[in-house]
Amino acid sequence: MSGVRQFPRKTAAAIAVVGVVGLCAARKASLRNEAFAESPKPCGGPGGPGGRGGPGGRMGFYSLRLESSQQVNDNTKRLRFQLPDPASNAGLSLASFILTFHKPKDAWFPVIRPYTPINNFDEPGYIELLVKKYPNGRASGYLHSLQPGDELNIRGPMRGYQWKTNEFENVNLIAGGAGITPMYQLIQGMLNNPDDKSKIKLIFGVNTDKDLVMKKELDAFEQKFPDRLKVVYRVSDPVEGSPFTKGRVTKELLEKELLGPKDSKTTKVFLCGPPAMEAAIFGSKGWISSQKGVLEELGYSADRIHKF
């Protein structure tokens, strides 16, 4: 079977032992901004959200073969992995993620990280990841080192946020850097669904112009669905002559741009970005001190917000 093979029983058992530890490590990794095209969020299997599935129709451990590697900018790649069945979509659905595994020679345990597939789930036969390489990032560095024909060990798909079509009239997506991946997954899934009528506002903040990954795809969706999708860009350090507005994702910007009544169950805000950005927008709670987030200051209750 080309493209995917199931792990040997002993290998799968060994990884299963560290599965719980791995999930915690994966979440901590995203907080360290070490692997940010990767945000924990599970998916459904055959039959739609809420199911359990994967290559071959079941959740489990697999090895995917890399089909192609595309350099997006100086630190980001699009990696396309084959599925064994050209007619299979691996059980992916909104909102979903997979766990990647690899074991460095000098490590006792495998490095485990969550990544969000960005491919159109209606196009079967492959999974595509957008991976930003971080300095000393063990997962992202390993993924960037893969060449076509190499294999990647994964587990998934896995289910997280329980997405329901048309549950919200207004969907606000706030992304920072490579945190665009779960947002793009939602955008393409919602807009490719003819039954979905929700309006979407994406606020996308990055450091430099080159960090606006997925812009070509976002532009295409915005042009095709002008009445449903609006994208607002902010660049902290734009190049000279940049067409993008200089700035960050601030309280003033969110107050101006967010869609829908903030106190209504018809409005939802999704957030994914670097730790400092998430803390500023969502807030943080700790044993010693807590920080109120911008969204709370603007009147959004916790149940109106989902942080990937």
Contact 186, 94 (CB under 8 A): yes
- Does the bond joining 8 to the residue before it have cis omega, within 30 degrees of 0? no
Q: What angle do CA 56, 89, 223 make, to 5 degrees?
A: 175
Annotated binding site: 113-115, 130, 132, 140, 181
Q: Is the dihedral of CA 284, 290, 296, 297 positive or negative?
A: negative
Tokens coding 287: 């044993």
Tokens coding 128: 């595509």
Q: Which residue from 155, 141, 14, 25 is spatially nearest to 96, judged by alpha carbons?
A: 155
Contact 195, 166 (CB under 8 A): yes
DSSP codes of every residue in 24-83: HHHHHHHHTTSSTT-------BTTBTT----TTSS-EEEEEEEEEEEEEETTEEEEEEE-
Q: Which residue from 91, 132, 88 is spatially nearest to 113, judged by alpha carbons?
A: 132
Residue 69 corresponds to which amino acid? S
- Does the bond joining 95 to the residue before it have cis omega, within 30 degrees of 0? yes
How far is Cα 82 from Cα 67, in angstroms, rounded to an integer?
6
Annotated binding site for FAD: 113-115, 130, 132, 140, 181
How far is Cα 159 from Cα 276, in angstroms, rounded to an integer?
26
